[in-house]
Amino acid sequence: MSNAAFYCSFNLKKEASVPDFLQVAKKLNDGHISKQKGYISWKQIVDGDTWADFVTFETMEDVKAFEANSVNAGELAMNFFSFINLDSVKVNYFTIERSYE
């Protein structure tokens, strides 16, 4: 069975501090995301002003459960989203057909 990925691209708010954002993201990962069923990894990637979260899970069902359960991240999620221009957010779901490492 193929793994699955939650891919979310976004822009930070103009006044956002990148080091502070990365610290808040680590707290969100350690306190909530990494504890979700099927979690494999979370990569944060950036190209200029465009950031993306690439979160991999064991199955697509795990991805969907992660998204549904994201409301339970509470203050950790609120802090994370406070850095993001929410109008810029785009979400995709992918099945990983092959991985080269």
Question: What would the pLDDT profile of 61-96 be if each residue is shown by its tens digit?
Answer: 999 999 998 878 899 999 999 999 999 999 999 999
Collect all residues with Cβ–Cβ distance below 8 Å to 93 and sequence separation of at least 6: 4, 5, 6, 7, 60, 63, 64
Q: Is the pLDDT of residue 1 over 70?
A: no
Share of the chain above pLDDT 70, in %: 99
Considering the domain 4-95 in this protein, what is its CATH number?
A: 3.30.70.100
